DNA sequence: ACCTATGTTGGATC
DNA sequence: AGATCCAACATAGG
């Protein structure tokens, strides 16, 4: 799925393109992943203005007038695309938002894992808070000490799946977990209790550096991700480990290995990233 | 054709 | 409690 850099890219583009616009009509073509229902969404959002677009972790929140919110999680293969009026939706477009400027916002999701949730302000606040998201890594206050303290509440956890749990750092998924661990020279299977302060500092620095650079590049399109305009992100050529198994490590030259960690493919350097 | 992979995550199970 | 597994689904590639 879109991880922090990809969702942040969409947030910025949506703020630019659709905030301030009115939704004149919504067509729902597949409503199973919409709550409370596709019909309720069509009814509630017709005529409503989009006031702001926010992001928390990988969750997007579109704020409408009259205190309504649309929470959007794209999961693995979700996309939001702005299209000209009268665009023919592709096979996996599940909802179309017709905007007051004539354009359309298409929600597409091949694997149908993602969701749209409509809720009032209070419910939306409670929902977002209830996810247990940790700090936003690109905001002030994300220190290596706090990150380390949070991770060390789970001393026996494997470092990589824990990074992806959202509870200590919001917004990291498989690609950026792989990258950050390579950069910080930490083995993906390392138990948290075995990661010393120096490595934690390196990890913190890597997370911030990589996520910043990836946002600047408008994200990574390793597989399905496209931005609001249907363009791929430009960060893939800058990836040092993800998708590079068999290719030489950019630090030491030894071919990268690939293993399965918590069910997810994980490239790493067996020489640089010792356990 | 069949088996495996794929950017997520929360609920079940060990 | 904490760690690990797997389903939800569609498609591509070996």
pLDDT digits (tens, 9 = 90+) for A141-179: 999 999 999 999 999 999 999 999 999 999 999 999 999
Query: Which residue is nearest to the C1' sugar atom of C6, using CA?
Result: A263
Q: Which residue is nearest to nucleotide C9 (CA to C1')?
A: A111
- Nucleotide showing the shortest C1' distance to residue A58 CA: B8
The whole-number pLDDT of residue A224 equals 86
Q: What is the pLDDT of residue A222?
A: 87
**pLDDT tens string A45-56:** 999 999 999 999
Taking residues A222-249, what's their average pLDDT?
A: 93
Share of chain A above pLDDT 70, in %: 100
Rounded average pLDDT over A83-106? 96
Which nt sits closest to A176, CA to C1'?
Answer: B7
Q: Which nucleotides of C are covered by protein (CB under 7 A)?
A: 2-11
**What does the angle CA A196 – CA A246 – CA A174 come to, to the nearest 5 degrees?**
50
Q: Give distance CA A111 / C1' B2 (Å).
A: 21
Nucleotide nearest the Cα atom of A263 (by C1'): C5
Bases along strand B below 7 A from a protein CB: 5-10
> What integer pLDDT is reported at residue A262 of this predicted model?
92
Mean pLDDT of A97-102: 97
| pLDDT exceeds cutoff 80 at A269 | yes
Confidence check: pLDDT of A21 > 90: yes
Residue A209, phi then psi, degrees to nearest 5: -60, -45
pLDDT at A6: 96
Cβ(A125)–Cβ(A56) below 8 Å: no
The answer to whether residues A96 and A104 touch, using CB atoms and an 8 Å cutoff, is yes
Q: Is the pLDDT of residue A1 over 80?
A: no
Kindly state the average pLDDT of the residues A134-141.
96
What is the mean pLDDT of the segment spanning A239-266?
A: 94
Residues 6+ apart with CB under 8 A from A17: A82, A103, A228
Footprint of strand B on the protein (CB under 7 A): A 1-3, 6, 57-58, 73, 75-76, 113, 131, 164, 166, 173-175, 219-225, 260, 263-265
pLDDT of residue A223: 82
User: For the residues A16-36, what does the mean pLDDT come to?
Assistant: 96
CA–CA dist A192, A176 (Å, integer):
18
Cβ(A169)–Cβ(A176) below 8 Å: no
Give the confidence band of A39 by pLDDT, cuts at 50, 70, 90: very high
Residues of A annotated catalytic, as ranges: 2-3, 58, 264
Residue A1 CA and nucleotide B8 C1' are separated, in Å, by 7
Mean pLDDT of A176-200: 96
Q: How far is the CA of A223 from the C1' of B1 (A)?
A: 25
Is A81:A25 a contact under the CB 8 Å cutoff? no
Q: How far is the CA of A252 from the C1' of C8 (A)?
A: 40
pLDDT on residue A275 = 85
C-beta separation of A50 from A63 below 8 A: yes
pTM for the structure as a whole? 0.97
Nearest nucleotide to A75, CA against C1' atoms = B8
Q: Per-residue pLDDT averaged across A203-231, rounded? A: 95
Average pLDDT over all residues of chain A:
95
Instruction: Give the distance, in angstroms, between residue A142 CA and nucleotide C2 C1'.
Output: 25
């Amino acid at each position: 799925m879109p991880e922090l850099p990809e969702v942040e890219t969409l947030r910025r583009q949506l703020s630019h393109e659709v905030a301030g616009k009115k939704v004149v009509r919504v067509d729902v073509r597949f409503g199973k992943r919409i709550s409370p229902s596709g019909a309720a969404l069509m009814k509630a959002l017709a005529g409503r203005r989009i006031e702001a677009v926010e992001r928390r972790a990988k969750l997007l929140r579109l704020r409408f007038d009259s205190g309504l919110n649309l929470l959007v999680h794209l999961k693995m293969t979700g996309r939001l695309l702005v299209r000209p009026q009268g665009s023919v939706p592709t096979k996996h477009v599940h909802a179309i938002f017709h905007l007051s400027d004539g354009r359309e916002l298409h929600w597409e999701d091949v694997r149908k894992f993602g969701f749209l949730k409509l809720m009032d302000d209070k419910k939306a606040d409670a929902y977002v808070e209830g996810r247990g998201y940790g700090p936003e890594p690109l905001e002030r206050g994300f220190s290596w000490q706090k990150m380390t303290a949070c991770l060390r509440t789970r001393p026996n956890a494997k470092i990589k799946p824990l990074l992806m749990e959202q509870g200590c750092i919001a917004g990291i998924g498989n690609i950026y977990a792989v990258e950050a661990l390579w950069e910080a020279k930490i083995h993906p299977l390392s138990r948290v209790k075995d990661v010393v302060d120096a490595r934690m500092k390196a990890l913190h620095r890597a997370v911030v550096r990589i996520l910043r650079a990836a946002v600047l590049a408008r994200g990574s399109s390793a597989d399905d991700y496209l931005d609001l305009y249907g363009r791929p992100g430009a960060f893939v050529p800058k990836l040092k480990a993800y998708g590079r198994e068999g290719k030489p490590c950019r630090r030491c030259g030894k071919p990268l290995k690939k293993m399965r960690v918590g069910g997810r493919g994980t490239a790493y350097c067996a020489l640089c990233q010792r356990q």
